[in-house]
Amino acid sequence: MNKERQLQTPFVDALEAYCYEGMVAFHTPGHKLGCGATAYQQGLFGYALRRDLGLMYALDDLFQPQGPLKEAMELAADLYGAGRTFFSINGTTACVEAMILTVCRPGDEIIIPREAHRCVMEGLILSGAVPVYMRSHFAAKEQVTLGPDLASLQAAIAAHPAAKAVLFTYPTYDGVACELEKMISYSHAHGLYVLVDEAHGAHLPFHLDLPKEALACGADMTAQSTHKLAGSITQTSMLHCRRGFPDMERAASAMALVQSTSPQYWLLASLDSARQQLALEGTKRIGRAMALARQLRDELNAIPGIYSFGRNIMKYNGVGGFDETKVTIDFSGLDLTGRQAEVLLRREKIEVELTAANHVLALITLGDTDASIAALLRACRRVAAGQVVRCDRIVTNELPLPDPQVVLSPRNAWNSSKEIVSIQHALGRIAAETIMFYPPGIPIMAPGEIVTASCIAYLQNKVKAGYTPYGAADSTLQTLQVLPRGTEYE
Ligand SMILES: Cc1ncc(COP(=O)(O)O)c(C=O)c1O
């Protein structure tokens, strides 16, 4: 990394300089740098209105960068050790779709983990690729997925020797990291492209105890939500390609395919600025987040009835690392489900990232302080004080994610005509819609899969536990969309 160059913020500087030139705008957006905004909007959006520019040749072009935006993306590549980095204003969702579009053609098989995010399914629909699932493991005590291990990968490759690529989710939403380096070398030895959904990993290079980042493990392409665990604005992510990656130009055109032609420059500037922040202070800031997370976990574990697993999750086979800034707080010792704990915490003015089984997930990032940690601890103590501590844990088991039985490519299923049938009559039919719970956004059922009894049981179980399904045309799940009878399997 070139430390001196990392001090610079070429795109932020260009945007600021342009804004102070006082140009009279005869271009989009219609509010003309805030002139057309109401006083209320001015108050609401403030400075952002004056910087609300997109697709200005004066300020470089996201899809054919030649000036400050090119420099900004090169600096990001330099920071992360990539051959080339692309900025995304459509999150990691766009980056994952673009990765799949880069390496897969219609009909190509791609090996994916069971806990792949819905954007992977979208990438499959767009590209026409066909998913082959790797078996994932599940930690029963902690009620979190551990992802696939090397044996799962080996089995998938042995059963599908013609597969083109493999995609890993690394680390998982809960911070669990598979043995990626080993799995990447095995995949490369078998001629597969390796793509990584590293949505939860933009901070990984900045602390030695965090799982090693995907590029350093040898990934060909990796997508990171800079907005999730680093400091950029929501919706902004980066796609990195390794040095020497042969399909950079296809990646560039795939990124153009999945993003708006009017990228918001304020969002792009936030990526430039977040990159500079990480380069200058990443080690200090992420180190501080780690220290706070460790202190939080220790103190949580001292509250009777509450439990937060830590690096001990690495005792499970196939787990190669753990991101300690992901703090899963288990309330089973207080006989509370994750949903119930979420509601009680909300009353204490705490909003968590996700809930499942008996736990909630709290993210500790470079934005946390002693005060935020103290607030979370105080809230957990108050929740505990209002409950009876049980000697035994009352575990609300998450049902295992149903095993997908893919009979048609997601694209062909998505393009097919659809029928609406009652959920009971959907059993054994081919699904035509993607249904998930969000977060974590893992499809429980996706187009082209058989609707199985375990799939229906999983959906009904979650709804009964108070979770809202996403993606279903009928959100009550009384009915499901399926393909017409007689649709040919592929
Ligand atoms: C594992 C995973 N991949 C991809 C995404 C999509 O990321 P983004 O919100 O940046 O589009 C998410 C979002 O939650 C995610 O959890």
| Helix ranges restricted to H, 193-327 | 226-229, 248-257, 265-301
How many angstroms does the Cα of residue 225 sit away from the middle of ligand 1? 7
Distance CA 394, CA 335 (A): 5
Running DSSP on this structure, what letter comes out for residue 28?
S
Residue type (1 letter), 168: F
Residue type, 86: F
Would the CB of 238 count as within 6 Å of ligand 1? no
**What separation in Å is there between the alpha carbon of 482 and the centre of ligand 1?**
26
CATH class of 285-385: alpha beta
CA gap 416, 448 in Å, rounded: 10
Nearest partner of 321 among 464, 201, 427, judged by Cα: 201
210-240 in b/e burial notation, b at 16+ Cβ within 10 A? bbbbbbbbbbbbbbbbbbbbbbbbebbbbbb
Position 123 scores a pLDDT of 98
What Rg, from alpha-carbon coordinates, does the chain have?
Answer: 23
Residue from 92, 196, 353, 438 whose mutation best tests the ligand 1 pocket (most atoms within 8 A of CB): 92
| Pocket of ligand 1 contains residue 225 by CB under 6 Å | yes
* Assigned CATH topology for domain 410-482: Molybdopterin biosynthesis moea protein, domain 2 (3.90.105)
100/313 Cα distance (integer angstroms): 31
Is the CB of 237 inside a 6 Å radius of any atom of ligand 1? yes
Q: Nearest to residue 184, comparing CAs of 150, 225, 134?
A: 150
pLDDT for residue 448: 97
- Give the largest CA-CA distance in the chain: 70
Please check whether residue 429 is in contact with residue 483, taking contact to mean a CB–CB distance below 8 angstroms: yes
* CA 58 to ligand 1 centroid distance, Å: 32
Q: Where in the chain is the domain with CATH 3.90.1150.150?
A: 285-385
Task: Check residue 334 and report its DSSP letter.
Answer: G
Q: Return the structure tokens found at 463.
A: 């709804």
Which of 334, 322, 418 is CA-nearest to residue 381?
334
What does the pLDDT read at residue 54? 80
Does the C-beta of 127 come closer than 6 Å to ligand 1? no
Taking the chain (490 residues) in runs of 10, the rounded mean pLDDT of each run is: 93 94 91 94 91 83 95 98 98 98 98 97 98 95 95 98 98 98 98 98 98 98 98 97 98 97 94 98 98 98 97 98 98 95 97 96 98 98 90 76 95 96 96 94 96 96 91 95 86
Q: Which residues, in sequence order, are CB contacts of 463 under 8 Å at separation 6+?
A: 469, 477
Calpha distance 185→180 (Å, rounded): 9
Binding site membership of 119 for ligand 1 (Cβ less than 6 Å): yes
Residues 446, 434: contact at Cβ < 8 Å? yes
According to the model, what pLDDT value does residue 56 have? Answer: 73
CA triple 414-418-424, angle to 5 deg: 110
pLDDT of residue 274: 98
Residue 427 CB partners (closer than 8 Å, separation 6+): 451, 452, 453, 456
| 165-169 vs 109-113, strand pairing mode | parallel
Q: How far apart are CA 35 and CA 17, in angstroms?
A: 19
Distance CA 156, CA 337 (A): 35
Instruction: Output the pLDDT for position 208.
Output: 97
Contact 25, 58 (CB under 8 A): no
Instruction: Give the Å distance between the CA of 199 and the centre of ligand 1.
Output: 5
Q: Whose CA is closest to atom 12 on ligand 1? A: 199
**Residue ranges matching CATH 3.90.105.10 in the chain:** 410-482
Strand order across the beta sheet in which 165-169 lies = 84-88, 237-241, 221-224, 193-197, 165-169, 109-113, 130-134
The secondary structure of 405-439 as a DSSP string is -B-S-HHHHHHS--EEEEHHHHTTSBB-S-EEETT
User: What's the pLDDT at 57?
Assistant: 73
